[in-house]
Structure 1
Amino acid sequence: MLLRISPQNRAHIICLCAALLLLITWAYLTVLPQKQHPVIAEDDGANQIVHTLDGPLPAPHPRYFCLSPLSTHLDARFAKPTWPTAPERQASLIRLLHSFVGTMQDVGITTWIAHGSLLAWHWNARIFPWEWDLDVHVNLRGLQELVSCCNGSVYKYGIEGKYMLDVNAFVWERDGMVDPANRIDARWIDLATGLYVDITAVEEADDAEGEGLLVAKDGHRYRKRDVLPLGAARFEGVEVLVPRNVTVVLGNEYGREALVRSVFRGFRFHEDLREWEAIISDMTSS
């Protein structure tokens, strides 16, 4: 049976559909927050610069940093097809640290060690022997400066070392719950191994009591007075910055036990030598 629609009714239906389309468009633009969208563009085929365009937020986003199938702590683009030995990994991480700290000093960006790297510094100012990456914080303004000056740049360090600063294309989305696959803001990557420094930015906020906080996209929150002013320290022979109250920062993140537990991941801390020594079995350390 063929349904006949009069010209008058057809006009009403068209108007109704148009109104519905306008309503959907209005709801989309109203409900979704407006953000500055980055567009990655190549500069002379070498440096990547983030430009911004106005537009609604599309989320969630795909993971920006691709990881190697060998390890979640290796960048898939530069990792070798075989695992690095423990001594190779340790030596590479030390060079990674030195190159990162030196470069950040050269470009004038303030950064400080965080998370597992800060915990390792607390024990003996050495990288944990089981560690696969390094962690640092930078303030949000510092991250913005890195985007402008250094994103995609490759830096030489030492005789053969080459390292790249790679800023996540979705750094403008600061809510890690909305964008869980991109909670790391940038990485300093060893092009020879795929090992990297995780860089996360913190920005100022207030809690319910009005106390100043520093908040990262990955959900970590610090009282501003526990972090600032930063203090100078030495880590693997290079001068770094650490939070003002390291014990409180680490205790809040890992619990007090992490500051005194001397057996972990198959290693025991030797007080006299101030070193982590491998033990036969790590069954009691998990």
Structure 2
Amino acid sequence: MRFQRYLNALNPSGLFQSVKSFNYTQLSNTPVSTNKSKNLILKSKIIILIALIFIGTNVLLTNFIFNVDNYGQYVQSLNSMDLYLKLNKRFQGYKEFLKIFSIPNNELNLSINQNIAHNEFNHNYSSTALISYINHIYASKEQDPKGLLLNETIDFHWADWLDVQQATPFVKMYPDLLKRFGSHDAIKDYVHQICEVPLKDLRQQWDDYDLYEGRTTTHEQVIGIEICGAIEKYYYNPIPERIMLETNYHYHTVGVNPERLQDPLGKEGNAKRFYNSKHVTATQINNFKPNDQRMDLLNDLKHNYIGKGYELESFKLKPFVDQSVKAYKKPKVMTMIKKLERKQNRENVELTPTEQKRLDFLKYSWDHVGIKQPFFFTSLRIQIDVTNHELVHYSYPWMKKILNGEERLKIIHHTIRSWFKFAENAQVICWFNYGNLYGWYFNSQNLPWDTDLDVQISIQDQDRLGQYYNNTLVIENPELGDHLFFYQTNPWYINNHEGQHIDSRYIEAKSGIYIDISALWIDKLPAVSKSSDQEDRKDEEIIKFHCKNNNYFAFEDIFPLRRTIFEGAQCYIPNKPKKVLWDFYGAKCTDKKYNKDHNWQKDIGMWIPNQICENKKIPKTGDRFDDNGDLTLSGACNDVEIQRNFKLTQDQYEIHKKEFEIVVEQDGGDASSLSENELPIYRFYDPKEFQ
């Protein structure tokens, strides 16, 4: 009966009726002969029957087993649906968009920017070319290389930095589309309108409800997200205002031409940047080997940087960090606007470009207070994800595919380290909270079910980031990995706008995984006694600040911040982590040993999925380790991944146990000596592992 219901769902309103009544001309305006019609009818019957068998079986199975983690298997099984979708008249509109702009399976290695080796996109062409360009400037006779790099802007196109091959058919057809639509804006409006369907998981009017609920369009939807994201990055997504190369001694900053390149540089253009030359030979292009040359270039760059007389900087975090409560004072936006306007209205006084940009931003934000806006950061909605909300934690248009838990954790491992270095360089103070703090409490690692990172910051420091670092592309220190991060601020961060509860994001640009950054402020500062010896602290023990989601935190529970090691990296946490967790999640929330289908196993320092082992199936501590203290396979519940992850994270957990005893069990001691040095990267992400 259940199978029959799905078959009925695939044949709503007698769509297929009988072969005799099936009229191919309904799907095409091209006249066909009687013989061709008969052949088409026969072929259609065979195709429909095959499609029904595959679809019915897959829908039945996926009703029980499909989730985000096994999405790859699901995609493979649903390739057969293309046959059905091409015949189903109700799948026009968005389906037509996919049909036109999807890359055929036999041409998946097509690429727009032509900068690939062996038909595979290589992100390192663009970053290695930039490292070489920076090195050329420092090696030259230029007296102010930092100023030149910032002011002599370089050209930019996202297709040189990110794999946007899914946009290839759209790009190839763009001249014809321009003739059809008449203007670039009309094409843009069409793309954004049609992309609303996959992004918001809208039910189209021609979709049968049972079919929609049966999850049969998920495969197409994810492909649609990939295509729309690639088109968005190629044509419409804001380009960076600057690119920062992260090293362990300096952030090399390069200014970007605000005019987007019409076409990507490609391999030849990047080779010109690599050699710092207007012309390159075929031999030079062939000798441009980005993966082999990066480390030598980095060593040369450091040597030339020192040779210019610059001192090496340190991004090591301080053991404890305090902050004045003044940093959390709610901004007086109108006062700032009037101050800039007064300067602007004086005779013979013109605002600098930076001041004018600031004034425009403040006025735009202020003028829209009270006007509900769509949430600035676009997230994804897919019907299968209404319970776990995993896909909400991918940022569009950066998402390339659905990641499994291991992939996501590896990316987070790099992202958190890069963010706190970035913040230290920008001289802003921040700390992580919520689920990440909960993960710290147990083993100082991200929770296996937590899909993002949550950072808090003062409104003053958020404003600093917004003014000087918005739209910044960060190249991860090549000694640690090859990730790219994009820092972007919400234009409404300076005011309290309805629904705009996230003030900025630090996004891993290859995957869409991100850090949510929330600014905290105090609506009204308390009065201060003139006799106070600590006037600027303003009795912080009675002060509470809050984010735009109206989550309140006591100042004395947060400050002074503590340095810790989280996911191997130096980070800051609240001064009283247990109290912060109890106040937010409820008393004794840290006593829970079962959470989100996982159970806490203290002896190995890991949250283990219940389906692997729980309760009596958990090995006894004395039976889990060999004579060398290594976790045995049987001690790892006969799971090789648990055994491998234990080995990777053992050093992290040993540090955390000592730190936990001092900070939590001894109620607030100084454990900063344990976080003096970061651990080496122990989670490396190679997408090819998961293909």
* TM-score interval, normalised by the smaller of the two chains: 0.7 to 0.9
Cα distance change, pair 90–41 in 1 and its aligned pair in 2 (3 A): closer
SS in 1 for 2:588: helix
Query: What is the match of residue 193 of structure 1?
Result: 511
AA paired with 2:493? Answer: V
What is the SS of the residue equivalent to 1:252? Answer: helix
RMSD value, Cα: 2.9
Q: Is residue 2:451 matched to residue 1:132?
A: yes
In the aligned structure 2, how far is the partner of 1:46 from the partner of 1:144?
25
The residue matched to 2:487 in structure 1 has which SS?
Answer: strand
* 1:249 maps onto 2:580 in alignment: yes
User: Identity of paired residues, percent?
Assistant: 18
Distance 2:568 2:523 in 1: 34
Q: 1:56 to 1:274 in 2, by over 3 A?
A: closer
Find the residue that maps to 1:109 and give its secondary structure: coil
Q: CA deviation at 1:219?
A: 0.9
Q: Is the 8 A contact 1:46 1:153 kept in 2?
A: no
- Alignment correspondent of 1:158: 477
Aligned to 2:557: 226
Structure 1 residues 124, 135: CA separation in 2 closer, same or farther (over 3 Å shift)? same
Q: Check conservation: 1:206, 1:212, Cα contact below 8 A.
A: no
| Partner SS for 1:95 | helix
| Matches for 1:110-121 after TM superposition, within 5 Å | 110-121=429-440
Given that residues 67 and 75 in structure 1 are in contact (C-alpha distance below 8 angstroms), is that contact kept between their aligned partners in structure 2? yes
- 99 and 254 in structure 1: CA distance in 2 versus 1, 3 angstrom threshold: same
Matched, 1:202 2:520: yes
The yes-or-no answer on 1:106 pairing with 2:425 is yes
**Cα distance, 1:142 vs structure 2:** 0.5
Displacement of 1:205 in angstroms is: 4.3
2:213 corresponds to 1:213? no
- Matches of 2:570 and 2:411 in 1, distance apart? 18
Shift of 1:190: 0.4
Distance 1:250 1:207 in 2: 25
Q: SS of the residue aligned with 2:392?
A: coil
Mapped to 2, the partners of 1:124 and 1:60 lie a distance apart of 41
Rate the CA distance shift 1:46–1:169 in 2: closer, same or farther, 3 A. farther
TM score, norm. by length of structure 1:
0.76
**What count of residue pairs does the alignment treat as equivalent?**
240
Deviation for aligned residue 1:121 = 0.7
Query: Matches of residues 142-157 of structure 1 in structure 2 within 5 Å?
Result: 142-157=461-476
Aligned to 2:490: 168
Question: 2:442 is aligned with what amino acid?
Answer: W
Partner in structure 2 of residue 45 of structure 1: 258
What CA distance in whole angstroms lies between the structure 2 residues aligned with 1:41 and 1:57?
A: 27
Give how far 1:52 is off: 2.1
Cα deviation, residue 191, structure 1: 0.3
Matched residue, 1:78? 398
Q: Distance in 2 between matches of 1:156 and 1:166?
A: 15
The 2-side partners of 1:173 and 1:191 are apart by 27
From the superposition, tell whether residues 207 and 110 of structure 1 become closer, same or farther in structure 2 (CA, over 3 Å).
closer
Once residues 231 and 238 of structure 1 are traced to their aligned partners in structure 2, the CA distance between those partners, rounded to angstroms, is: 13
Which structure is richer in relative contact order (CA contacts within 8 A, separation 6 or more)? 1
Instruction: Read off the aligned partner of 2:578 and give its amino acid letter.
Output: T
Judged with a 3 Å threshold, the aligned counterparts in structure 2 of structure 1 residues 227 and 89 are, in CA distance, closer, same or farther, namely same
Check conservation: 1:233, 1:240, Cα contact below 8 A.
Answer: yes
Q: Give the match for residue 380 of structure 2.
A: 68
Counterpart secondary structure, 1:72: helix
Q: Please state which structure has a larger fraction of its residues in helix.
A: 2
Contact 2:396 2:512 in 1 (8 A): yes
Task: Answer whether contact 2:431 2:457 (CA < 8 A) is retained.
Answer: yes
The match for 2:97 is none
1:12 equivalent in structure 2: none
The answer to which of 184-193 and 96-105 deviates more is 96-105
**Counterpart of 1:170 in structure 2: which amino acid?**
W
AA of the residue aligned to 1:136: V
The answer to whether the 8 A contact 1:154-1:164 is kept is yes
Aligned to 2:369: 57
Cα contact 2:545–2:552 (8 A) shared by 1? yes
User: How many Å apart are 1:204 and its aligned residue?
Assistant: 2.7
Q: Under a length normalisation based on structure 2, what TM-score does the superposition of the two structures give?
A: 0.33
**Are the equivalent residues in 2 in contact too, given 1:205–1:213 (CA < 8 A)?**
no
* Bigger Rg, structure 1 or 2: 2
Find the aligned partners of 2:240 and 2:442 in 1 and give their Cα distance. 43
| Counterpart for residue 685 of structure 2 | none
Contact 2:559 2:574 in 1 (8 A): yes
1:225/1:46 CA distance change after superposition, 3 Å: farther
- After TM superposition, give the deviation of residue 58 of structure 1 in Å: 4.0
Q: Which amino acid aligns with 2:604?
A: L
User: Which structure 2 segments of 5+ residues have no match?
Assistant: 1-237, 242-256, 261-353, 383-390, 528-538, 616-691
After the TM superposition, which of the residue ranges 209-218 and 146-155 deviates more from structure 2?
A: 209-218
Is this contact kept in 2: 1:266–1:281, CA < 8 A? Answer: no
Matched, 1:267 2:577: no
| Secondary structure, aligned partner of 1:83 | coil
Q: In 2 relative to 1, CA 122–206 (structure 1 residues): closer, same or farther, beyond 3 Å?
A: farther
Q: Assess, with a 3 A threshold, how the Cα gap between structure 1 residues 206 and 252 changes in structure 2: closer, same or farther.
A: farther
Kept after mapping to 2: 8 A contact 1:68/1:79: no
Tell me how far 1:187 sits from its aligned partner: 0.5
In structure 1, stretches of 5+ residues that fail to align are 1-39
Distance in 2 separating the partners of 1:245 and 1:206: 24
* Letter matched to residue 512 of structure 2: G
Could you say which structure has the higher strand fraction?
Answer: 1
Q: CA deviation at 1:234?
A: 1.1
Q: Does the 8 A contact of 1:125 with 1:234 survive in 2?
A: yes
1:8 aligns to what?
A: none
